[in-house]
Structure 1
């Protein structure tokens, strides 16, 4: 076992079950220069044991210093003089140092739209992207949230590729991204705080019953949900909590526990405790949809940019949709095909991978028909209002805002 000095683990930059951390090594010749790797999994208490998975490699960027930082993206566990990786599950000690210490402030986002899903985040992202002082990265990067276990067909960027999404920032006063499951994550708030303590957080909330109904149809559209009715999906939650009744194309099984996604009070509290109320803006979908210009101006003021810039068409974004051709949709959402593409990602030039993503988006758009979803059955709506009554009361108290009209 090779020892390296040790400190405290960092937030997890990962694809499912894989961590990305920055460690300080004490042996300058311990690793080969520019070795290609996949990240190890960090377990245990301080000093921390790194369990190197099968075929793990460690990449180092500066092998000349006596002590240097290595971003463990694809990091190798190669001993001095060796040209092959150590056996699977070789253990060694590591030291984590604050990731933010080595990143220039302009290379990082300044604000995050963290959710909740189906609460207007896509529209707000679209509106903000039109402002000359705001740079918006592509939506749903989900670089934070170590506890968010997406399927392998879901593309989660490592640190280098995540920051590359902000590389085209060109003089804008602030940069941000929107990933709707950050709010649901139990770890994302702390991870974002450690990444950039000065971050501003935007939270968008909606009547729980309406949000869940809209989320069900979104999941039906993108393949995460296969049950034919919302009532069946709600009834299946106990089975799904046990890992059953999850479709083959599902990319985020935990999101199928619908009621958990609308437990807003605890989710919002995590961000208020991590960042303080002055760094958190809470917008309500009701007010946002009724007067998007006012909510937009309020957001610009919160971000510290010119709020008189209103040259933006406040049109409906991300309306209810259905699939035009199910055979084409089955091909575009085929998990095996998407996993193969993502496995080839390190071998594909960035511009080509971006072109493939854009082509995929165009095909999906052409295969989409916008139409109103059917109204929620009245009895089901009334039941959900009763279920979420106490939750809405807790949220009202937390925000010092009366939201009980959601459940009245």
Structure 2
């Protein structure tokens, strides 16, 4: 695959809480792939803007602090390219953004796009737990949080808070199919990655043009959502392990620190009634999505 110097040959564009962090870490392990040092540069979503989201913790969150908004700074993310055959980046904001697809087509018309999607009710609940886990969501009633969304969007809270809106995959993905060839878009389901990780990664490696037989270390699961069993203990683990290890840039050590931190999490399940109601909310979008990607999604509706 020809590579445009200092720009990606493939992008993982979303969706939030569907395995994009895991894909980033797995791609990072591959010796023939160069991944941007910053995960979620958000460049194609936020080019030319100054991120100034106003939700709880948004000022300190990476979206406000680390997003790259100028093309020269974006190119600099790939200055470390050596002999790698593929260059990648992962920003789940790209699927949700109404501007990212057009900007990607402008800068990277031949790019390969990877989309990973999760059953939307399960995705929404994981999104909720993610915010609770980080101490940003103070309301621990999922239904109340669901009802608050419109007010939060109007108040300029960051996209991570747009729990309900993120589940409209057809609407978001259609904009990519409108301007890119279907051969440039590979859609993976979250359950593929969970149930058949080796097969799924081999297919993705082949898609981006690298050795598909490379064996990934699946022993650590990054970016787990959940509610802290002991917020003080988990906070100490993050301050003493996760944050210092992030500063080293060593992804293996970062994963180890995250696994220690995740020990202090428990993951409550969405109730049957909640999942049924929310799935029904997305029913028409799911039906249109399965036609768009030519894949049976009736198990999402079951």
TM range (shorter): 0.7 to 0.9
Select which of 237, 261, 270 maps to 1:376: 270
Given that 1:114 and 1:203 are in contact with CA atoms closer than 8 Å, whether structure 2 keeps it comes out as: yes
Aligned pair partner of 1:124 in 10, 19, 23: 23
Which residue of 1 is the match for residue 137 of structure 2?
225
CA contact (8 A) 1:123 1:316 kept: no
- How many Å apart are 1:224 and its aligned residue? 4.3
Aligned match of 2:281: 387
TM-score, with structure 1 as normaliser? 0.61
TM-score (norm 2): 0.81
Aligned-partner Cα distance in 2 for 1:241–1:325: 28
Q: 1:296 aligns with which of 198, 201, 204?
A: 201
Gaps of 5+ in 1: 1-103, 247-251, 334-353
Q: Out of 157, 167, 176, which is 1:262 matched to? A: 167
2:67 is matched with 156
- The 1:135/1:370 distance shift into structure 2, 3 A limit, reads farther
2:85·2:210 contact (CA, 8 Å) conserved in 1? yes
CA distance in 2, matches of 1:175, 1:116: 20
Correspondent of 2:44 among 135, 141, 144? 144
Choose from 279, 304, 317 the match for 2:221: 317
The 5 A counterparts of 1:95-106 are: 105-106=4-5
Could you say which residue in structure 1 is the equivalent of 2:8? Answer: 109
More helix by share: 2
Q: Name the count of aligned residue pairs.
A: 274
Alpha-carbon distance in 2 for matches of 1:400, 1:216: 29
Please tell me whether the aligned partners of residues 225 and 256 of structure 1 are also in contact (alpha carbons under 8 angstroms).
no
Please report how far the alpha carbon of residue 304 of structure 1 lies from its aligned counterpart in structure 2 after TM superposition. 1.5
Separation of aligned partners in 2, 1:229 and 1:115: 26
Say what the alpha-carbon RMSD is for the aligned residues.
2.9
Q: 2:85 aligns to what?
A: 173
1:164 Cα deviation from its structure 2 partner: 2.1
Q: Aligned to 1:171, what secondary structure does the other structure show?
A: coil
Q: Find out whether 1:135 has 2:29 as its counterpart.
A: no
Tell me, what secondary structure is at the counterpart of 2:144? helix
CA distance in 2, matches of 1:386, 1:325: 34
How far is 1:298 from its partner? Answer: 0.8
CA contact (8 A) 2:11 2:113 kept: yes
Per the alignment, do residues 122 and 356 of structure 1 end up closer, same or farther by CA in structure 2, a change over 3 Å counting? closer
For residues 127 and 159 of structure 1, the distance between their equivalents in structure 2, rounded to whole angstroms, comes to 26
Structure 1 position 357, deviation (Å): 8.2
Corresponding residue number in structure 1 for 2:298: 404
The structure-2 alpha-carbon separation of the partners of 1:273 and 1:326, relative to structure 1 and needing over 3 Å to count, comes to farther
Distance change (3 Å), C-alpha of 1:279 and 1:217: same
Unaligned runs of 5+ in 2: 240-245
Change (3 A) 1:288 1:327: closer
Deviation digits for residues 349-408 of structure 1, max 9, x if unmatched?
xxxxx94988xx79x846554433111122111111211111110101111111022012
